[in-house]
Structure 1
Amino acid sequence: MINILFCGNSGVFDGILTCMLSILKRTETSEPFRFFIYTMNLQDIDEKYQPLTLQQISFLESVAREYNPENIIERKDVTALYNSEFRGCPNEQCYCSPYTLLRLFADLVPGMPEKFLYLDADILANRDIMLLYNIDVSKVEYAAANDHYGKYLINPFYINAGVLLFNMNLCRNTGLFKKARELIKTKKLMFADQSALIRSTTKKKLIAQKFNDQKFLHSWTVLRHFSRRLFYFPYPHIANIKQWDVTNVHKIFRYFNFDDILLEYVYLKEKFKREKINEC
């Protein structure tokens, strides 16, 4: 099994769907995928913090199985873990959302494999994911690429935590996740989970930027991460264009090589809406 982890609420459904599609379309392997999704219900904090629904999970699995009948989606509700560990912590209202903290439960969630790839939902695969997944992490806690801006503004080895290839055996031995959770619970951190992971790391492998390209798309880019980025024209500003915003992917980025993925996404999104209406 090739093991992939996503985290989020019902609002990241489009991101998970497009990212999953890109992986399935760009990867040539007969080995099945197992997609773990950590989710939770925090509607008492914000009404939009609803967990991914069973209908959404079922639809994602039906899509995945079109590519390989052995592909699996596993939904993990970690609401109880969150309430026990992070409820009311200094980073609950962090720069993104509380859902960015959920990957820090990987050592507490039953059934997690010894090796898995964590991905933010705002990512598209441009090339075969096995180029990344087959990297040897047997002697490190994880492999990660530089943060595009952090490597200039903070330090040359500063990593972006949107793409992390984990070796769970060593992570458990060093207490990586436990140490990171303690930081989340006790200190207000600029980038919450990312800062906590970096500060708790014993040993990591720095991999090429092509495995987490946050600004550019090249022919050699393996994963294009649609994170916030700085634009200089028509005036300096920061924009947060996601891959499911098909119009701006074309208009602003002028990317057309993902059109096979995005065309299928648009079709599937409409199909999901129709199925949802029919069930009501």
Structure 2
Amino acid sequence: MTTNILFCGDASMTDGVLIATLSLMKQTRHPLHIFILTATLTVNGHHYRPFAAGTAERMTKLMQTQNSAHQLTRIDITDLFVADLPRANMKTMFTPYCMLRLFSDLVPELPDRVLYLDTDVVCRRPFDTFYNQSMAGVDIAGVLDHYGKWWFHHRLAWFDYLNSGVLLMSLAHIREDGLLVRCRQLVRHRWLFMPDQSALNIKAKFKRILPRKYNEQHQLKPDTVFQHFTTFFRFWPYFRIVTVKPWQIQAVHQQLGLHEYDDLLKDYRQLAPKLKEVS
């Protein structure tokens, strides 16, 4: 049974995609099919380069040295994105690539079920049970946002605001009920602080809230399956905002005091120069 993983990003996300993919390969014996949605975009005079085709080819060969059934498919959706620009959210603090997944229902290559991951997510434990859970009648399944659950609500009686960095998506159900159509309409006309995540939370009628271990956004726990290297607050000895990504190895060690992934990051450092596009 193939496990389908979805990433979205430009060339600058190569390090994150590589680390996440290496971590997934360590935690499953099933074939992986990695899908990468990318695009060529110019926003506010900034030119974004797509995830390189050459890097995708080299990653495919790397994956297949472990398992010949592994696959990687790079899909350029520039035309789809430009034809329906999320105009109200093109100048947010987040890159427009965060909204590429809102077009995934229009991409015929994508299968009925995909696990979307942000490129700053690391898989720490086996995830097959999580991936293979029943999605009957559900569009998306994810974990509450560590901070946003307190600030954003779409029900009166319970926390319901999901972090979208680890999101199991039933594209079969989404294509039937039009969730992403509604999300694209929203980001086209209404400014949102975190446009993709907020649109999914506002418009999803059928979502499942999962245990924290499937998207740990704060502090690593013994049962953590996916660790998400999000921005967080520290209050001692003074208040500060901390953002450390997995590929910032020195900061991972010194600021987070984290050595959990040293073997993984050693592999990453050896492989990254061979995989990136030669400039």
Same fold (TM over 0.5): yes
SS at match of 1:190: coil
Question: What does residue 135 of structure 1 align with?
Answer: 133
Alignment map for 1:4-43 (pairs within 5 Å): 4-27=5-28, 29=29, 31-43=30-42
Deviation at 1:234, TM superposition (A): 3.6
Letter in 1 for 2:141: A
CA distance in 2, matches of 1:25, 1:271: 20
Aligned to 1:151: 149
* Paired residue type of 2:5: I
Q: Which amino acid aligns with 2:12?
A: G
Report the Cα offset of residue 272 of structure 1: 3.4
Distance verdict in 2 for CA 1:222–1:40, change over 3 Å: same
Alignment-derived partner of residue 182 in structure 2? 179
Q: Is the 8 A contact 1:144 1:206 kept in 2?
A: yes
In the aligned structure 2, how far is the partner of 1:102 from the partner of 1:173? 19
Deviation at 1:170, TM superposition (A): 1.3
Alignment partner, residue 189 of structure 1: 192
Q: Determine if contact 1:2/1:32 at 8 Å carries over to the other structure.
A: yes
Number of the residue aligned with 1:71 = 70
The two structures, once aligned, show a CA RMSD in angstroms of 1.6
How many Å apart are 1:233 and its aligned residue? 3.1
Specify the code of the residue in structure 2 equivalent to 1:39.
T
Q: TM-score, normalised by structure 2?
A: 0.93
Alpha carbons of 1:205 and 1:40: their partners in 2 closer, same or farther (altered >3 Å)?
same
- Contact 2:4/2:33 (CA < 8 Å) preserved in 1? yes
Q: Once the two structures are superposed, what CA deviation does each residue of 1:54-98 show, in whole Å capped at 9, x if it has no partner? A: 1111121122112211111111101101110116x0101223110
Quick one: distance in 2 between partners of 1:173 and 1:109? Answer: 14
Q: Once structures 1 and 2 are overlaid, which stretch shifts more, 124-133 or 202-211?
A: 124-133
Q: Alpha-carbon deviations, 1:190-232, whole Å to 9, x = none?
A: 2101111111111111000110111111110000000111122
Deviations 1:15-41 (A, max 9, x none): 0000000110122x2x21110000000
Give the 5 Å matches for 1:1-280: 1-27=2-28, 29=29, 31-43=30-42, 45-86=44-85, 89-155=87-153, 156-272=159-275, 276=278
Q: Supply the AA of the counterpart residue of 1:171.
A: I
CA distance in structure 2 between the aligned counterparts of 1:3 and 1:132, rounded to whole angstroms: 13
Q: Which moved more, 1:45-54 or 1:113-122?
A: 45-54
- Partners of 2:89 and 2:267 lie apart in 1 by 37
Q: Distance in 2 between matches of 1:233 and 1:268?
A: 37
Q: Is the 8 A contact 1:65 1:71 kept in 2?
A: yes
Structure 1 contact 174–202 (Cα < 8 Å) conserved: no
For residue 45 of structure 1, report the CA deviation from its aligned partner: 4.2
Match of 2:216, SS? Answer: coil
Q: Which amino acid aligns with 2:236?
A: F
Seq. identity, %:
34
Q: Is the 8 A contact 2:39 2:49 kept in 1?
A: yes
Q: CA deviation at 1:174?
A: 1.3
76-85 vs 134-143, greater mean Cα deviation: 134-143
Matched residue count: 273
Look up the equivalent residue of 1:8 and give its one-letter code.
G
Distance 1:92 1:132 in 2: 33
| Alpha-carbon distance between aligned partners in 1 of 2:91 and 2:62, rounded to the nearest angstrom | 33
